[in-house]
Structure 1
């Protein structure tokens, strides 16, 4: 199944799901309603319906890139990956958004978001929408309905069901990580507006883990399925993530399982692409990076047009004064200097001359001060990590909407997780951990000049190395929290907590507040402490 070929298939789920958001309800007299029995007529129809569940990670609307199927939200801010980037990266030392008067932006990037923040509502609603789509697919693919429709319990549909369970787990994982609680819905619940019971963070952990383990055996082995579809490698990666962060989520460390699942990913046949930058180009689905990218979120300039994903990242990278969009495969001005990096991120590359030769260093520093004024797009350094050019230098298929897939999970992260889990007491072998880190650094430097020794592999080194390898890939906030650096005053970065010089952050800010709109539509939900 080529997901880029399925553009508007989400209509199936949007008409048939149950949701926790009242503005997602569809009236029974809606003239656009298609009865389920008219849709699910063959195994191929189920395949297309599953594509609709995947499409929710890429698209913001059923109609056009300027629309949103989440009521009351801007099309761009309601897109799944843009929301994830906003909450995981804008809130950290890695990036700043220039136009701070845009709704919700100041609160997120200065770590003062309130329950009324529209960006939080976008992320929460989109993730719950994904849960609803997954549940509807599972509801319509029960053994009873398959038999009644004359389709039978085809093995391929069991695989589709496993994918839907894993996609559901993925969204609950993001809710667990950022908000700490969410309402419970499954496919056995009656369709319609119902108020799911609140799950605590520990209960969400157990749910995510159980969904993934339940799905595992019905999925193809890692790196053997079709590109951009869930397989056992993706499941192992999410499990490694939740186990690595289990002490944060549940109070109980599970580093041994994090290491084991990371090793399962590493041994699944994925391969690092020779050139780091190939992971972030317009043909990263075919230039060799597809063997490193464990799970991409599809972007296509023709069939998945949206103002999130890598479109916002690439257009936003373009410098206001540089007008360098042409080199990145978009129009020269891009989005007018939308993004810049905070000085603390830049210093990870510029303080040590060694990193001048690091291919991961995509900073543009010329004619720019390192310190930034938020309202002046010509201050602060910029980056050029993502590009709408191909590995052969061609443009993507469109100069506004990009072809570059977003790498939600990469093999490189599994190497770094193994090393961290080992250092945190998860077992494994020190020399193996050092070797995995050095494989990444040899690719970055082109030789062994950047290699580290066993004594240099420390947690302090790893938190910086994770940022150098994975910046702008929606991991940073989670990493800083796990390392005890996000809240408090152990690590201060520019504009942390508000002022330009940064300040200490209250502990309760390690979780975002539950959006007021979600609380209003589900009386079972309660607010996180401190808000």
Structure 2
């Protein structure tokens, strides 16, 4: 049986996502009653039926595209993204202010959503593994064919647990669809030992399936294959010292080398091409979520970040929400000049007309939308006094400078997130771009960091970083240090849900911003904030859960 799918993924695998068996809304109880027995007699007779079933395990990944779960909690708690309160807009009970200032609470819904999405993936994978094992036992499906899918599900489940390890630390490990959560769904009483156990589980699962999952890149678009497993292992080892107190730099090199040596991936000549509307199949993509405005909805970045009056700029069919902005200092990290953020009307890195970047032009400045907002005919868009909190009046001009976090941030303030191409004429609130989870340039930077940590003068480390910088049209570094590595990762990996993790990992290594340092509109925070609290809803539903220290 051919288990591969090709680049028409958006007509096969996405349909599988739509045919999910169960939509999980809470995952404190990680078991589920099977009301309709799935057997080899009534399902799993064709490739499409297997792939359709797999979609249920992948469906929680769609949460990455919205503003209610993993992407938001990781980006807004970093120095990259801020959601300023604009009068009555985006107050939302103060959650965005708490995320930015690291005063988030166990009762915050967005943290509970993140927990639920990842444990939904765990629960769905457990159920599907159980069902696939049952059809093997029936004798009507070959063990070889079903085991390939089971290996893929175990790898995906390990990916979810890697994310839970990173975000929450000490979490329950549940691998059986039939086990009693009252007895098993509990973390260790000791926080550090518990996190060690989760690390070891993820490591063991990924190593076990490494040679069992598919190796074909073209046949597994949007799915876990061998190279996704190598990447997750490399990520796990890159952050091992944070998770367990022990470094694993050699292992980072081993698994990044496996990806590099495979010859399956290379840097795109143009950075921005990785994020276009039609970006499926980029040679730089290792793992993506293949969003589609009809078949796989949930990627809402264009409405999350753009000004509410920006519809004419892109001929959008719906009004954007004017929420997510870039922290001014982070935007400035792309610009090699002495210019600093100024008062209203000043645009960091742009000339008075807002058209020319001063200093070195980093092509990754395409990540942002700044300057006057123009409609499709090139006319400036004006607010006509509708938004009085924008003091410079018409026309609407996005300035990297943000006047305040709350309560009256200017609605035009802040560079907007333009990393993913805004599709002109998009009718609704869902984008068609594939959203990147793993990308090849990250492989190069991860290997460089591991080599540098073992030998600060390693020439290969410097070469790899400069390879990424060359593609961005910026001058090469002559040497590396922690500040350069962290800053380069920030510029390259902006809005790819890695910045919070990077800031935590570089804690104590750099003179620049670290996760618990003060930054714009944020005071110093305590190290226990390096992980999120176990959500209050989960603690109340399962008394075996133990809250993370400090909360």
| Secondary structure, counterpart of 1:296 in structure 2 | strand
Q: 1:410 corresponds to which residue?
A: 439
The structural deviation recorded for 1:90 is: 0.6
**Structure 2 vs 1, CA of residues 148 and 385 (structure 1 numbering), >3 Å: closer, same or farther?**
same
After superposition, give the CA deviation of every residue in 1:1-29 in whole Å (9 maximum; x if it has no partner): 354333464665428x997425x88777x
Distance in 1, matches of 2:31 and 2:312, equals 41
Shift of 1:461: 0.2
C-alpha RMSD over aligned residues: 3.1
Report the secondary structure of 2:441's partner residue: helix
Displacement after TM superposition at 1:314 (Å):
2.2
Divergent runs of 4+, >6 A = 24-28, 191-194
So what's the TM-score if we normalise by structure 2? Answer: 0.79
SS of residue in 2 equivalent to 1:236: helix
Match of 1:318 in 2: 306
Q: Which runs of 5 or more residues in structure 1 are unaligned?
A: 61-74
Aligned mate of 1:56, from 40, 56, 60:
60
Give the corresponding residue for 1:86. 72
Q: Determine the structure 2 residue equivalent to 1:377.
A: 411
Q: Aligned to 1:40, which of 17, 24, 43?
A: 43
Correspondence 1:478 to 2:501: yes
Bigger CA radius of gyration: 2
In 1, Cα distance between equivalents of 2:250 and 2:284: 24
Task: Name the residue aligned to 2:135.
Answer: 145
Aligned pair partner of 1:511 in 506, 526, 531: 531
How far is 1:489 from its partner? 10
Counterparts of 1:16-415 in structure 2 under 5 Å? 20-21=27-28, 33-37=35-39, 40-44=43-47, 45-58=49-62, 83-98=69-84, 99-103=89-93, 104-142=95-133, 145-148=135-138, 150-153=140-143, 155-187=144-176, 189-190=178-179, 196-198=185-187, 200-221=194-215, 223=217, 225-269=219-263, 270-286=265-281, 289=282, 291-306=283-298, 309=299, 311=300, 313-320=301-308, 323=310, 326-327=313-314, 330-331=316-317, 333-335=319-321, 337-352=322-337, 356-362=360-366, 363-366=368-371, 367=397, 368=399, 370-374=401-405, 375-389=409-423, 398-415=427-444
Q: 1:94, 1:345 within 8 Å by CA — same for their partners in 2?
A: yes
Aligned CA distance change for structure 1 residues 161 and 26 (closer, same or farther; 3 Å): closer
Name the CA shift for 1:182/1:476 in 2 (closer, same or farther; >3 Å). Answer: same
**How far 1:182 sits from its partner (Å)?**
1.2
Q: Deviations over 1:292-346 (max 9, x none)?
A: 110001210110122xx3x2x222232356x26744x7448522x2111112201
Deviation at 1:193, TM superposition (A): 7.8
Q: Which residue of 2 aligns with 1:71?
A: none
Against the structure 1 CA distance between its residues 26 and 201, is the aligned structure 2 distance closer, same or farther, given a 3 Å change threshold? closer
Q: For each residue in 1:122-148, what CA deviation from the matched residue of structure 2 results, as whole angstroms up to 9, or x when unmatched?
A: 000110010001111111112x53231
Q: How many residues align?
A: 481
- Rounded to whole Å, the distance in 2 between the matches of 1:11 and 1:485 is 47
Check conservation: 1:97, 1:340, Cα contact below 8 A: yes
The aligned counterpart of 1:68 is: none
Distance 1:197 1:212 in 2: 22
* Structure 2 residues without counterparts, runs of 5 or longer: 189-193, 338-356, 372-396
Q: Structure 1 residues 250, 222: CA separation in 2 closer, same or farther (over 3 Å shift)? A: farther
